[in-house]
Amino acid sequence: MTISKEFDAVIVGAGFSGMYMLHLLREEGFSVRLYEAGSNVGGTWYWNRYPGARCDIPTESYCYTFSEEIHREWTWSSVYPEQSEILDYCNFVANKLDLRRDIQFNTRLTSAEYDEKSKKWKVCTGEGDIVQAKYFIPALGNVSIPHAPNIKGLEHFQGETYHTSRWPHEKVDFKGKRVAVIGTGSSGVQAITSISKEAEHLTVFQRTPQFVSPVKNPLLSPDQVKEMKNNFPELRRKIREHFIGAPTFDLRRPYSALEDTPEERQRFYEELWNEQNGFQLLFSYLDITVNDEANATLAEFVRTKIKEIVKDPDTAENLLPTYLIGGKRPVVGTNYYETYNQENVSLVNLKNTPIVECTKKGLVTSEGEHEFDIIVFASGFDAMTGPLMKANIRGRNGIFLKDKWDGGRNLKTFLGVCNVGFPNMFTITGPHFPLTTNAITVNEVIVEWIFDCIKYVEEHGVEEIEATSEAEETWTNHANEVGEQSIYAKVDSWYTGANIEGKPRGFLGYTGDYLMFQEQFNNARDYKGFTFTPKQNVAVEK
Ligand code: NA7
């Protein structure tokens, strides 16, 4: 196998982080090739084009903040734009920065291997590329490997099947169709509300009822747009100083929920519910996610709302969530619970009536057969570790990354970016990526840190940079400790791998807030957590 080309860096994935990484490295004069499996930029927003897909972080902070020019030239239409608009934004940025000339689309990474002799990464793709690079930067996304339940007989189904994350580019016509949606996470909730408007009948198959906070999506007025554009430096500062990197949300009452009387709490929750601003409900009181008793007050409020909204008592009962609110990835929706009042929508509670098999006509549960024309899987992802473990990445001594992590049973990283045994490799959006923070702002912090690190490496005549075992151990212990103390330790979700049968449990993401995360990265700017192998005859000073 001969190497056809050599680059300073190979990036994989043209989502928000890969695009920004490409831009920074190229501006600095590095030769870079970015491989992308899709036919265009956008990452998550390229793949997740199911009906109803939209952002749940307000656009004011769900955007790049590195360039005032981009910020001024792009105009968002609404507070929570839909997928196609975010994808347009990604295309706008790619065009503006002329990124495409270094991106090879429709090209999937098949393997990457570190060659200890040449001290280079050999990267192979499904299109037959074999290239070499000093730096290897997988930016594969952490929810990019779709997961679907293993339903007996699915291959016999004669209708259409789709996964929300592999949606066709052409419109899927639901008119006059009997549709099943399996899954009620963020994707399922958005798809359900949208598909219900068109389908003849929609049956929702729900494993775990969700707390869904109401969200409305007002159009941005010309004045609001003007203000967003004119106050860029201030906005950027606010984002960087905010606990989740999204300053629209504020902690409304910085004290315990238990300090207010039940009547006052009720009045206040009602006020927040009516605001319809998604995540804001969780930021009502200081201790909603740290004190189970405080948590129960909000959880009970939402359950009461569900019972008020949903007219059929059995359906309402089946929609009542019992986990700690905020313990799973929060879900927001527009008229989600109201959807179940439509004549053409019904709910199957999989805990009571599991799917037994699929026939050529539809799904058989323990109670009988449901016939469908279309089955939509909104069943999530093999998140965080999945994409990197499936990517055939081999470090020193030919060790696979998945084996280094013992299939996820012994997950260790330094900063969620570097790995012992994998020199000159920087992963973005892999395990230990922050889970409770606006992903784009986190991406910017990580990409900028990697960029500065690479510049440091080059300026100091370094051939190999590799995390030390000590740094990896310390960071991993920190990530696990923060995880243990968090609400996510108490609830089953994809944050801990619990969504997939047989997947090892652990803290797959970093659950500290955005400020803690930035502090970790700032501390790592002394590069004490690394060993450096100098180029021959070059001494490295730290
Ligand atoms: P999620 O949040 O993982 O939701 C997946 C849903 O599918 C959830 O309701 C799951 O129930 C359900 N599920 C998963 N496996 C099964 C099986 N085997 N049978 C029935 N139902 C199942 O994925 P999303 O795509 O909605 O959102 C992912 C992220 O994308 C989101 O958090 C945002 O960051 C964007 P469960 O709750 O696990 O019992």
DSSP conformational letter for 324: P
How far does the centroid of ligand 1 lie from the alpha carbon of residue 496, in Å? 13
Q: Is the pLDDT of residue 539 over 60?
A: no
How far does the centroid of ligand 1 lie from the alpha carbon of residue 315, in Å? 20
Confidence of residue 459 (pLDDT cuts 50, 70, 90): very high
- What average pLDDT does this structure show over 466-470? 98
Confidence of residue 538 (pLDDT cuts 50, 70, 90): low
Q: What is the model's pLDDT at position 535?
A: 87
Q: Where are the beta strands (DSSP E) in 328-471?
A: 331-333, 345-349, 355-358, 362-365, 368-371, 374-377, 393-394, 462-467
CB of 380 closer than 6 A to ligand 1?
A: yes
- What average pLDDT does this structure show over 234-250? 96
- Tell me which of 46, 207, 488 to substitute to probe ligand 1's pocket, judged by most ligand atoms within 8 Å of the beta carbon: 207
CB of 494 closer than 6 A to ligand 1?
A: yes
- The answer to whether 337 touches 354, Cβ cutoff 8 Å, is no
Q: Is the pLDDT of residue 160 over 60?
A: yes
103/515 Cα distance (integer angstroms) = 33
How far does the centroid of ligand 1 lie from the alpha carbon of residue 500, in Å? 9
- Tell me which of 379, 440, 500 to substitute to probe ligand 1's pocket, judged by most ligand atoms within 8 Å of the beta carbon: 379
pLDDT, tens only, 504-533: 999 999 999 999 999 999 999 999 999 999
How far does the centroid of ligand 1 lie from the alpha carbon of residue 510, in Å? 19
Beta bridge partners, 443, equal none
Percent of the chain with pLDDT over 70: 99
Q: What is the model's pLDDT at position 486?
A: 96
- What average pLDDT does this structure show over 191-209? 98
pLDDT, tens only, 99-141: 999 999 999 999 999 999 999 999 999 999 999 999 999 999 9
Q: What is the model's pLDDT at position 3?
A: 87
How far does the centroid of ligand 1 lie from the alpha carbon of residue 318, in Å? 17
- What average pLDDT does this structure show over 478-499? 96
How far does the centroid of ligand 1 lie from the alpha carbon of residue 378, in Å? 6
Question: Exposed (0-12), middle (13-18) or buried (19+): which is 369, by Cβ within 10 Å?
Answer: middle
How far does the centroid of ligand 1 lie from the alpha carbon of residue 377, in Å? 9
Q: Which residues of 252-280 are buried (b: 16+ CB within 10 A; e: fewer)?
A: ebeebbeebeeeebeebbeebbeebbbbb
Name the closest-CA residue to atom 37, ligand 1.
208
Q: What angle do CA 270, 271, 277 make, to 5 degrees?
A: 105
How far does the centroid of ligand 1 lie from the alpha carbon of residue 493, in Å? 8
Q: Is the pLDDT of residue 421 over 80?
A: yes
- What average pLDDT does this structure show over 481-494? 96
How far does the centroid of ligand 1 lie from the alpha carbon of residue 223, in Å? 38
pLDDT, tens only, 381-400: 999 999 999 999 999 999 99
Percent of the chain with pLDDT over 90: 98
3/120 Cα distance (integer angstroms) = 11
Residues 310, 311, 315, 316, CA torsion sign: positive
CB of 496 closer than 6 A to ligand 1?
A: no
Confidence of residue 2 (pLDDT cuts 50, 70, 90): confident
pLDDT, tens only, 265-308: 999 999 999 999 999 999 999 999 999 999 999 999 999 999 99
- The answer to whether 270 touches 308, Cβ cutoff 8 Å, is no
Q: Which residues of 311-344 are buried (b: 16+ CB within 10 A; e: fewer)?
A: eeeebbebbebebbbbbbbbbbbbbbbbbbeeee
Distances (CA, A) of 362 to 52, 232, 373: 24, 52, 8
- What average pLDDT does this structure show over 142-152? 97
H or E element that contains 18: helix 16-27
Q: What is the model's pLDDT at position 536?
A: 76
Give the residue among 88, 27, 109 at the shortest CA–CA distance from 388. 109
CB of 143 closer than 6 A to ligand 1?
A: yes
How far does the centroid of ligand 1 lie from the alpha carbon of residue 90, in Å? 26
- What average pLDDT does this structure show over 338-363? 98
Q: Is the pLDDT of residue 540 over 60?
A: no
Q: Bigger pLDDT: 3 or 108?
A: 108
Give the residue among 4, 62, 123, 77 at the shortest CA–CA distance from 425. 123
CB of 190 closer than 6 A to ligand 1?
A: no
Position in ligand 1 atom list of the atom nearest CA 329: 32
CB of 436 closer than 6 A to ligand 1?
A: no
Position in ligand 1 atom list of the atom nearest CA 500: 15
Position in ligand 1 atom list of the atom nearest CA 379: 7
